[in-house]
Structure 1
Amino acid sequence: MVIETATRPVVADPAPPPHRTLLAVVGGLIAGVVTIGVAELLAGLVQRFGWSSGTPSPVLAVGSAFINHTPLWLKEFATSNFGTNDKKVLLGGIAVVLFVASLVIGWISERHYAVALVLFVALVAVAALAVATRPHAGFIDVFPLLIGAVAGLLMLGWWRLQLVVNPAPAQMSSYDRRRVLILGAGGAVAAALGGFAGRALSSGARAVEQARAAFVLPKVAKPVTVPAGASVGVPGVTPFVVPGDQFYRIDTALTVPEVDPHSWSLKVTGMVDHDIEIDWDTLLSKPMIDAMVTLMCVSNEVGGNLNGNAIWTGWPVRELLAQAGPQTGADMVLSTSVDGFTAGTPLSAMTDPNRNAILAVAMNGEALPAEHGFPVRLVVPGLYGYVSATKWLSELKVTTYAKDMGYWTPRGWSAMGPVKISSRIDVPTSGTHVKAGTVAVAGVAWDQHVGVKSVQVQVDGGAWQEARLGTDATIDAWRQWVYEWPATKGSHTIAVRAVSDTGEVQTSVQAPPAPNGSTGLDSITVTVD
């Protein structure tokens, strides 16, 4: 007897209903918001109570780690395209990545919950590594993130059980679905608000602003003033002295460090006869000087505006170093910021009696703005900022170039960074239309710690014509210039070049900012009607 058996066909798991997948994606997003919100709130509390000297905020830690590992080409791209808004763009990019990652985790969790958990844990591990490797990080710094991660996992699991697994949305009443959605969304909103509160709590802005408001400008023996005629009086030209709120800002700090001067100190270490540490009151008791100095970012393109001139007040670095006693063989001072940034400056530039390298505490007659280094920053004439202009200063290590490197040197920039002679056309701007007749072509030129002797303008490849210079304030500051151009109708190309006090003529050879500063001539094209 033959017994026939029927073979049951193998049926693949049905695809989840579209609305169920959508709910899973939303759950992933809510879990992500809860994770970050709780972590940021706790990070703020940890910093508010002084339990952390590191960066417990996972968002800031990841962003800072990204900055530290940014390749040279990407850094140049960001600076060239976004300028001083590069950090806002980075934070926006982090938000987009977190948003997408949360959506992906939610989508995967609907059918492969274990895989989603692995991905979630992997992202948390990356963030925890970033937190743990920030300068001054301690054991407690990772706890806000870990607690936030637990909260996020609990939310993800609860959401999945309520709306995705048991019961299915179709089996739930509209009231139940609405209740779960409201609870989930409410939790996400509360967590997001907690995250913003955490950022506010972690900020020492109030203490810093109180300290700045109480700041009394130290008296100096010879106050520096802007000489008559330094400005050529042409509307649109960059101010000879740039106000603090208009001064360019380029640094590696994702958020501005808020340093309370009453807890601040500066150490001098390394190859010295005596280690020294001074506090805020000690620094303010020292004999201060004024120094008019134009600062320059090495990322400045030809014709770029990543530079600015200001009157800085501070104590000469050479006097502090003299107390420490640099030892024979030392040739570099490695300055360190409270956020871990470092810059390598030639010891000779710091100790040169003819160069006003200072520990600046004031800018244009007021306490340093927080974004420009309050309470103390370095100002060294004639060097690009990446090797000299350390903000939020915390340590000076006397060392050698053979032993130590500043932050940017291993990232492809030169160890030495003397500013190169250059010039810029501020008005008129390229592409504009002007009326026939006399047109003021004007801008600024610089060759810090050397000086600018003349500025020359060329129209349509013709002979170079001398521009009129503003009064020379100091070799450490830029000079304004203006050329009264007899404009005739048509399209014209105008170029500018500077000549230094030593006779060096600004080169026309084009070179990018990396590795030691851009070169070439700034030019514009205008149409004369």
Structure 2
Amino acid sequence: MTSTRVQSPSTAAARVPAPWPAVAGIVAAVAGLVVGALVARILSATSPLVAIGNRVVDLSPQPVKEWAIATFGTADKTVLLVGSVVVVLGFAALIGVLAARRFPWGGLAVIALSLVAFAAAAVEGSVAAVVAVLAQTAVGLWTLRWLLRPADPGGAAGEMIITHHPAGFDRRSFLRRSGLLVAGTAVAGLLISVLPEPVAERARQVLRLPAPTDPAAPMPAGLDVPGITPQVIDNDSFYRIDTALVVPDVDPGDWRLSITGLVDTPLSFSFDDLLARGLVERRITLTCVSNEVGGDLVGNATWLGVPIRELLAAAGVQPGADAVKSTSTDGWTAGTPLEAMTDDRDALLAVGMNGQPLPLEHGFPARLVVPGLYGYVSATKWVTELEVTRFADFSAYWTDRGWSERGPIKTQSRIDVPADSQIPAGRTWIAGVAWAQHTGIDVVEVRIDDGPWQVAELAVEDTIDTWRQWRLAWQAEPGEHTVTVRATDRSGYTQIEEVVGVVPDGATGYPRRNFRVV
């Protein structure tokens, strides 16, 4: 074998043939991302990628957020994280090409990209998150340099022996190094998966909530229609819309709820304090303001918690207050009308959901549940503070972004059955649910094509705070048909036909479904 001596390292690196520089950049990025996530997991910090994602969520224009929710629904966070990975890998491939030409340029590009992660980690307010970024950057730089160096060194100082390739690139050596890195990255990823579960999940698994001192009334029987939405949605299927890319890991042993602001006596409650007060159980339907007409960002569950009015009464609300600003452990805020938390409705500081401690993604250890208001002004998860205040003195996360201040829920309905757009001719059910939380549903009407409105059968009402099932028998004739539904609540208000989008205070319009009967 003949060897040749050339200067090292930048001249040889410039001769790495395509597509290997791009591959090197991608492998280095993956190694850095996984190590950064591993360090973050060990230190109980936010990973660099998630920190960046959190800032993307906060800084995205409102139309972009609405498009994401409308397009991807509850999968919007997964799509954002996957998209972030794709973007990072795209930049990494370009950085690999740049580094193959002049490594210092590529190194500066890595550092520039890392500065974005540093800024995002700094916003998280965690030294551990910054340490994770440092680890990610160091591994990424070292990996990229190791992959792009020429073949094994030898000869005099400052020189490298180049074998197998006249331009100085040894494909076998490159693949061998890449394989080692991929294997090491896989081991790091495995370590992430086998590390102990978050503190919150471990605490949740052993937590046994006390029985309610005031249980919910027995639930009346629902309508017997295959495929209709059940009266209560199980925890795994309940919709989730929030701004947290990664669920906060809150230890109930350390958690406290502070009641501050315009109160006679500021108070602080531990989780055990709440459990000792006696818990009430209520079924309440929650709705997201981003729910399109006929959408599925709505769900009914059985909640267990402490009446918020009791906590506020203990603190002593001062005259002149008209709002409660709630704050989550991750800094998210909502503004709720004070009367909705102090009147006779069952506004709860909830600790349980459908007979279990709150799932982590639904606010463990405690969250707000307030009937009659959209979630963006009433359903703060991982809540840590209730500040009694005035609407004139603050603005909350979503009101800063153009949404209305108070967010009362609009009367709505939905068609669930038939589920398919093509159905056989003959007798079938048209069925679904309707809701007007804290007002109650009185009538649901259905129209086939341009025919008259027909009154649907309603399930026995559970409470005015829960949705209500409805159904109508239909003798479906062959052809194309349009089914329209509308609901009337107990105040006499009937859904309007005018189509209005979700911004700034919820959508309006008639739910419609087109069917082909064969």
Q: TM-score if structure 1 supplies the norm length?
A: 0.89
Taking a change above 3 Å as real, the CA distance of residues 172 and 399 of structure 1, as seen in their structure-2 partners, is farther
Letter in 2 for 1:308: G
Structure 1 residue 468 corresponds to structure 2 residue 463: no
Instruction: State the 1:337 CA deviation.
Output: 1.5
Amino acid at match of 1:155: T
Match of 1:125 in 2: 115
Structure 2 residue ranges without an equivalent (≥5)? 1-10, 153-158
Match of 2:37 in 1: 40
**1:301 equivalent in structure 2:** 292
Q: Distance in 2 between matches of 1:430 and 1:303?
A: 15
Question: What is the aligned partner in structure 1 of residue 204 from structure 2?
Answer: 211
Q: Residue 79 of structure 1 aligns to which amino acid in structure 2?
A: I
The 2-side partners of 1:77 and 1:450 are apart by: 30
Q: Does structure 1 retain, via aligned residues, the 8 Å contact 2:258–2:384?
A: yes
Q: 1:260 aligns to what?
A: 251
Q: 1:488 aligns with which of 449, 471, 477?
A: 477
Q: After alignment, is 34-43 or 463-472 more displaced? A: 34-43
Q: CA deviation at 1:177?
A: 5.1
SS in 2 for 1:513: coil
Is the CA contact 2:323–2:338 (under 8 Å) kept in the aligned structure 1?
yes
Deviation at 1:184, TM superposition (A): 3.7
- Cα 1:373–1:14, aligned 2, differ >3 Å: closer, same or farther? closer
Deviation at 1:167, TM superposition (A): 4.7
Shift of 1:172: 8.0
1:51-450 alignment to 2 at 5 Å? 55-134=45-124, 137-163=125-151, 166-168=160-162, 170-171=164-165, 178-195=172-189, 197-198=191-192, 201=195, 203-204=197-198, 208-228=201-221, 231-352=222-343, 354-429=344-419, 431-436=421-426, 438-450=427-439
**What is the CA deviation profile of residues 224-259 of structure 1, one whole-angstrom value per residue up to 9, with x for unaligned ones?**
32123xx11101110011111111111111122232
Q: Shift of the alpha carbon at 1:42?
A: 1.5
For each residue in 1:382-422, what CA deviation from the matched residue of structure 2 results, as whole angstroms up to 9, or x when unmatched?
00011111111111112222222221111221121110001
CA contact (8 A) 2:203 2:252 kept: no
By how many angstroms is 1:222 displaced? 4.0
3-state SS of the aligned residue for 1:244?
coil
Partner of residue 7, structure 1: none
Distance, in Å, in 2 between the alignment partners of 1:488 and 1:96 is 49
Distance 1:175 1:62 in 2: 35
Distance (Å, rounded) in 2 between the aligned partners of 1:151 and 1:243: 43
Q: In structure 1, what is the equivalent of residue 8 of structure 2?
A: none
1:400-446 CA-to-partner distances (Å, cap 9, x unmatched) read: 2222222111122112111000101100136222322x321100011
Whether the 8 Å CA contact 2:147–2:177 is kept in 1: the answer is no
Q: State the secondary structure of the residue aligned to 2:494.
A: coil
Tell me the SS of whatever aligns to 1:133: helix
Determine whether 1:497 maps to 2:486.
Answer: yes
Match of 1:507 in 2: 496
Q: CA distance change for structure 1 residues 22 and 175 in 2, over 3 Å: closer, same or farther?
A: closer
Evaluate the alpha carbon distance shift between residue 202 and residue 396 of structure 1 in structure 2; reply closer, same or farther with a 3 A threshold.
Answer: farther
> C-alpha distance in 1, partners of 2:160/2:321?
71
SS class of match (1:83): helix
CA distance in structure 2 between the aligned counterparts of 1:57 and 1:242, rounded to whole angstroms: 32
Distance in 2 (alpha carbons) for counterparts of 1:175 and 1:157: 14
Counterparts of 1:294 and 1:76, CA distance in 2:
22
Task: Name the % identity.
Answer: 43
Q: Which digits, 9 at most, give the CA deviation of each residue in 1:93-152, with x for residues without a partner?
A: 011011111111000112233332222111100011001102xx1334312211321222
CA drift of 1:37 comes to 2.3
Provide the rounded CA distance (Å) in 2 between the counterparts of 1:175 and 1:126.
Answer: 33
Task: Judge which range, 307-316 or 179-188, deviates more.
Answer: 179-188
Distance 1:326 1:37, change over 3 A: same
| Cα distance between partner residues in 1 of 2:170 and 2:96 | 21
Deviation at 1:35, TM superposition (A): 2.0
Change in Cα spacing, 1:312 to 1:113, as seen in structure 2 (3 Å) is: same
Q: Distance in 2 between the 1:220 and 1:283 partners?
A: 13
Q: How far apart, CA to CA, are the structure 2 residues paired with 1:525 and 1:418? A: 30
**Taking structure 1 as reference, are residues 316 and 83 closer, same or farther at Cα in structure 2, changes over 3 Å only?**
same
* 1:222/1:14 CA distance change after superposition, 3 Å: closer
TM-score by length of 2: 0.91
CA pair 323-200 structure 1, distance change in 2 beyond 3 A: farther
Displacement after TM superposition at 1:14 (Å): 13
How far apart, CA to CA, are the structure 1 residues paired with 2:40 and 2:511? 47
For the 8 Å contact 1:379–1:389, the answer to whether it is kept is yes
- AA partner of residue 327 (structure 1): Q
- The separation in 2 between residues aligned to 1:239 and 1:169, in whole angstroms, is 69
Per the TM alignment, residue 460 of structure 1 is displaced from its structure 2 partner at its CA by 1.1
1:227 & 1:305 partners in 2: Cα distance?
23
Closer, same or farther: CA 380–149 of 1 in aligned 2, 3 Å: same
Q: Does 1:30 align with 2:19?
A: no
Contact residue 445 and residue 454 of structure 2 kept, 8 A: yes
Counterpart code for 1:160: L
Q: Secondary structure at the match of 2:43?
A: helix
Q: Which amino acid aligns with 2:34?
A: G
Please state how far the C-alpha of 1:196 moved relative to its aligned partner.
Answer: 5.5
- 2:414 maps to amino acid: R
Secondary structure class of the residue paired with 2:429: strand
Q: Which string of whole-angstrom CA distances, capped at 9 and with x for unpartnered residues, describes residues 69-99 of structure 1?
A: 1211111111111111111111110110111
Aligned-residue offset at 1:169: 5.9
User: Could you tell me whether the CA contact under 8 Å between 2:209 and 2:352 is conserved in 1?
Assistant: no
Q: Is the 8 A contact 1:37 1:193 kept in 2?
A: no
- Structure-2 separation of matches of 1:133 and 1:192: 30
Secondary structure at 1:406 match in 2: coil
**Which AA in structure 2 matches 1:197?**
L
Q: Aligned-pair RMSD on alpha carbons? A: 2.5
The 3 A distance-change label for structure 1 pair 171 and 346 is same
